[in-house]
Amino acid sequence: MSTQTWTYLLVGLTFLVYIIIAIVARAGSTKEFYVAGGGVNPIANGMATAADWMSAASFLSMAGLIAFMGFSGGQYLMGWTGGYVLLALLLAPYLRKFGKFTVPDFIGERYYSKNARLVALICALFVSFTYVVGQMKGVGVAFARFLNVPFDTGVLIGIGIVFFYAVLGGMKGITYTQVAQFCVLIFAFTVPAIFISLQMTGNPIPQIGFGSKGTDGVYLLEKLNLLSTDLGFDSYTNIDRGNLVNMFFITGALMFGTAGLPHVIVRFFTVPRVKDARISAGWALLFIAILYTTAPAVAVFARTNIINTLSDKPYSQVPEWFTNWEKTGLLSFEDKNNDGTIQYVADAQLNELTVDRDIIVLANPEIANLPPWVIGLVVAGGLAAALSTAAGLLLVISTSISHDLLKNYLRPDISEKGELYAARVAIAVAVVAAGLAGLNPPGFVAQVVALAFGLAASSFFPAIILGIFDKRMNQQGAISGMIIGIIFTTTYIIYFKPQLGGPGLPENFWWGISPEGIGTLGMIINFVVALLVSRFTSPPPPEVVALTERIRTPRGADSPSGQAH
Amino acid sequence: MSKNKNTYWKTNLKYLAILLTIWFIVSFLFGIVLAEYLNQFMLGGFPLGFWFAHQGSIYAFVILIFVYVYLMNKLDKKYDVDEI
């Protein structure tokens, strides 16, 4: 069977599974719609969290990004996993004990303020929406390349599928679909890596393979360093000293941002007990780590393969995959010195080969000559990653509107049935809006993802941490911290992002910190402002202090508030 | 707040301080700040600093969470605040 047939077959099959699960696990109440009834098994929740978390970017772009960055690429690996330690230790168990549906719920009650809830709500909507548009675009790209449908049709198919299972199933349908999607995406990511690792090093475990000796008896990394420096690139494992401060801050912003992202936090409301929330974060990170420790191996294999197969080779003899990708414009060759061979070097004047880093994961199986079904599998995996993340984000958007805005802000007297109906309408509208934005993505979308992490780190993270660990924290402190943190971070990012119209130049970055990393500083500012302001204003009311005490121990959710101990 | 709950919370904070220190050391120190120094040592074919940034820190994160879960479950039982 051809690659095309395999792709249709595997994508069709996986979609069928998602739809069947959605019908079986549809939601009947708001509690099922928002938090899957609060009865999800911690391991299943771990898988769902992992699928929710690993987006089209993790699956398709990250390994490629690392392949061209070398050592500095570690900022994504550490940044997008280290946040789970913070989640497990500092947030998940306490928020589960608090026992409501959303992050704005917690902010609103802990800081006894409707305005605090509104600030949190707007942040949650902004973060989730910018994120989801990128997923929709990822779905369109994957369809367009491998199913030979136009980009627009690809996005529309994606909207249709998500619409169906998210509107029908709510959190319950989404959770169980995500479990299936996790299995598809992790299988699709590791199988080609195992094949290639065997091919290149004889070791079936990619995590060990890329630190082993190749078929010629030389360590793979040593060979790659040599190949890279010969062509004028930086040595792959060498450390870029001038970039260390920036790498430190970006890693931090991604970690604290992860721990503050509403669509991740909300997953820990779905398990039955506090101890389940703790262990669930452990399972989630374990499942995420499978992909995140394989990705750097894939990066090394792909980078070595590209140099070996293409550098100094005659253009007339390039393999078939090269010609296929050339058609998409994501790979291009310009014979500057007219010698008919490919010069792939660091010097931009002489370099003749341009490789878009986004194609690395998709092209990797073809480069390594793997059978056609593997390529079909990778496409199904990429779609699973994009769809699962999109669904999780859309749910946060709909919950924010029906629960936080409608039920708790505008119309507190709404009935359970009315709220569930509103939630379904909200998610339907959100799916369509995200799809339309994905069809015609505003040029700034890729740029605002940095903003999403920066905002989550500089607004939610400190407000939640202080709400749990500092009994003296009051609404004045938390709100001023959030607002100053957000304003600082947003201003810095817009000022230094030319794509957002900012006039700032990289040489004027504060201490060399790029906009991607400024969320760390925004977070520190938030903490300092909140602590200072709270100490000079009135303490929180006794029932809020009692609430803070209550969430600190797992048992006794029903003990009356304000009771003297 | 009862004395019992107070010691429970203090022990919890002590665990957090130890585990988060390790979290900081394996990622920010070994994987970034000290990576260049560590790169002179090899772990098989990996320069050590590079290995921490691309592999080791992630393994450490997973272990940290499971250790935390183990410690807290024991602590919950000891202070009789665990769930049924």
Question: What is the ipTM metric for this complex?
Answer: 0.95
Sign of the alpha-carbon dihedral angle for A116, A119, A121, A127: negative
> Concatenated DSSP letters for A457-511?
HHTHHHHHHHHHH-TT--HHHHHHHHHHHHHHHHHHHHHH-GGGT----GGGSGG
Q: What is the mean pLDDT of chain A?
A: 86
pLDDT at A156 over 80: yes
Chain-chain contact of A248 with B32 (C-beta, under 8 angstroms): yes
- For strand A353-355 and strand B42-43, is the pairing parallel, antiparallel, or unpaired? unpaired
pLDDT at A558 over 50: no
Q: Which residues of A are less than 8 Å from B50 in CB distance?
A: 71, 74, 221, 237
Nearest to B32 among A244, A286, A293 (CB): A244
Most A-contacting residue of B26, B61, B72 (CB-CB within 10 A), to test interface: B61
Sign of the alpha-carbon dihedral angle for A333, A335, A339, A340: positive
Chain-chain contact of B68 with A244 (C-beta, under 8 angstroms): no
pLDDT at A565 over 60: no
Q: What is the mean pLDDT of residues A366-374?
A: 85
Q: What is the mean pLDDT of residues A35-62?
A: 86
Count of positions (residues) in chain B: 84
pLDDT per residue as tens digits for the range A77-135: 999 999 999 999 999 999 999 887 788 889 999 999 988 888 888 888 888 887 887 77
pLDDT of residue A562: 31
Nearest to A77 among B35, B54, B82 (CB): B54
Count of positions (residues) in chain A: 565
Chain-chain contact of B44 with A208 (C-beta, under 8 angstroms): yes
Tokens 């449908």 correspond to what residue? A149
Chain-chain contact of B49 with A239 (C-beta, under 8 angstroms): yes
Backbone angles phi, psi at A537, to 5 degrees: -125, 175
Residues B31/A74, Cβ–Cβ less than 8 Å: yes
Q: What is the mean pLDDT of residues A196-224?
A: 90
Percentage of residues of chain A with pLDDT beyond 90: 34
Cβ-based neighbour number of residue B17 at 10 Å:
9
pLDDT at A443 over 60: no
Q: What is the mean pLDDT of residues A154-172?
A: 80
Q: What is the mean pLDDT of residues A262-289?
A: 90
Residues A199/A212, Cβ–Cβ less than 8 Å: no
DSSP β-bridge partners for residue A103: none
CA distances from A164 to A173, A265, A381, A408, A428 (A): 10, 24, 20, 27, 9
- Would you call A258 an interface residue with chain B, using a CB distance cutoff of 8 Å? no
Radius of gyration of chain A measured on its C-alpha atoms: 24
- Would you call B63 an interface residue with chain A, using a CB distance cutoff of 8 Å? no
> Concatenated DSSP letters for A366-410?
HHTT--HHHHHHHHHHHHHHHHHHHHHHHHHHHHIIIIIIIIIII
Taking the alpha carbons at both ends of chain A, their separation in whole angstroms is 71
Q: What is the mean pLDDT of residues A363-386?
A: 86
Q: What is the mean pLDDT of residues A499-509?
A: 80
Q: What is the mean pLDDT of residues A339-358?
A: 86
Question: How far from the centroid of its chain's Cα atoms is residue B10's Cα?
Answer: 17
Please name the residues between 193 and 212 in chain A that touch chain B, using a CB distance below 8 Å.
207-208, 210-212
pLDDT of residue A444: 53
pLDDT of residue A288: 96
DSSP β-bridge partners for residue A331: A355
- Would you call A375 an interface residue with chain B, using a CB distance cutoff of 8 Å? no
What is the pLDDT confidence band of residue A556, given thresholds at 50, 70 and 90? low
Task: Give me A171's structure tokens.
Answer: 């959190």
pLDDT at A559 over 60: no
- Would you call A285 an interface residue with chain B, using a CB distance cutoff of 8 Å? yes
Residue scoring higher pLDDT (A502 or A528): A528
DSSP β-bridge partners for residue B43: B46
Task: Give me A263's structure tokens.
Answer: 């669509």
SS (H, E, C) B5-73: HHHHHHHHHHHHHHHHHHHHHHHHHHHHHCHHHHCCCEECCEEHHHHHHHHHHHHHHHHHHHHHHHHHH
Residues A451/A516, Cβ–Cβ less than 8 Å: no
Percentage of residues of chain A with pLDDT beyond 70: 96
pLDDT of residue A564: 32
pLDDT of residue A90: 95
d(CA A457, CA A251): 12
pLDDT of residue A560: 32
Nearest to B65 among A222, A285, A555 (CB): A285
Q: Report which of A443, A364, A362, A353 is spatially closest to residue A145, judged by C-alpha positions.
A: A362
pLDDT at A276 over 70: yes
What is the pLDDT confidence band of residue A455, given thresholds at 50, 70 and 90? confident
Taking the alpha carbons at both ends of chain B, their separation in whole angstroms is 22
Residue scoring higher pLDDT (A217 or A183): A183
Residues B53/B31, Cβ–Cβ less than 8 Å: yes
Phi-psi region at A338: left, alpha or beta (left = phi > 0; alpha = psi -120 to 50): left
What is the pLDDT confidence band of residue A561, given thresholds at 50, 70 and 90? very low
- Would you call A259 an interface residue with chain B, using a CB distance cutoff of 8 Å? no
Backbone angles phi, psi at B43, to 5 degrees: -120, 95
B1 burial class (0-12, 13-18, 19+ CB within 10 angstroms)? middle
pLDDT of residue A445: 53
Q: Which residues have C-beta within 8 Å of that of residue A355, sequence separation ≥ 6?
A: A306, A330, A331
Residue scoring higher pLDDT (A498 or A65): A65
Amino acid at A20: I
3-state secondary structure of A341: strand
Amino acid at B25: I
Residues A176/A27, Cβ–Cβ less than 8 Å: no
